Amino acid sequence: MTSSKQLNKISKFLSFVLRHKPEAIGLTLDDNGWVNIDNLINKSNKSGEVSSINRELIQEVVDTSDKKRFIFSDDGQNIRANQGHSIQVDLQLKPVTPPEFLYHGTATRFLESIVEEGLKPQERQHVHLSTNIETATAVGQRYGKPVILTIKALLMHKQGLVFYRSENGVWLTDNVPVPFLQTP
């Protein structure tokens, strides 16, 4: 069993190269965000960013991650991030009908601009939403004093805005206009 510190370091590294900067180690993702695992291992070890990454460590990161950020292809030869990309990839997600309400955690310091402009994906492809307040609170705490926004998701959907649900259960949409936000 690998230490949680080492697994966390590898998970952060995988997030960086599979969601944001594959070119940092000379990787190229396909249009759907997939990369061959052997190629990832080879380029990772040559980069010196992580020490001795191998298939077993990657498997352990995928298996033990509570956030389920990564997924293997059906044949087990490729890996990709489930969501959170700042680079353009097509995750081939199908539109789905959301529940009546979804939640978004942010920091109080961002609330004023969100109330004025709505939720935007910022550097990511989509706005990330959750089905429960606990998850939204944990996300908001990463950025400062948390505040939880309630999103009128089903109403948005009925008015033609599209929702997706990633492999790890995160709800995604292009943006959340102000009329669909409920602030505390």
Domain boundaries 102-182, CATH class = alpha beta
Residue 161 has pLDDT above 90, yes or no: yes
- Burial status of residue 111 (CB atoms within 10 A of its CB: 0-12, 13-18, 19 or more): middle
Residue ranges of the chain assigned to CATH 3.20.170.30: 102-182
Distance CA 101, CA 171 (A): 11
pLDDT in tens, 95-133: 999 999 999 999 999 999 999 999 999 888 899 999 999
pLDDT in tens, 31-90: 999 999 999 999 998 887 777 899 999 999 999 887 889 999 999 999 999 988 889 999
Distance of CA 138 to the CA centre of its chain: 14
Which of the residue ranges 50-54, 136-140, 165-169 would you say has the lowest mean pLDDT?
50-54
- CA-derived radius of gyration, the chain: 18
Distance CA 37, CA 78 (A): 5
Residue 1 has pLDDT above 70, yes or no: no
Distance CA 6, CA 86 (A): 24
CATH architecture group of domain 4-81? Orthogonal Bundle (1.10)
0.85 surpassed by pTM: no
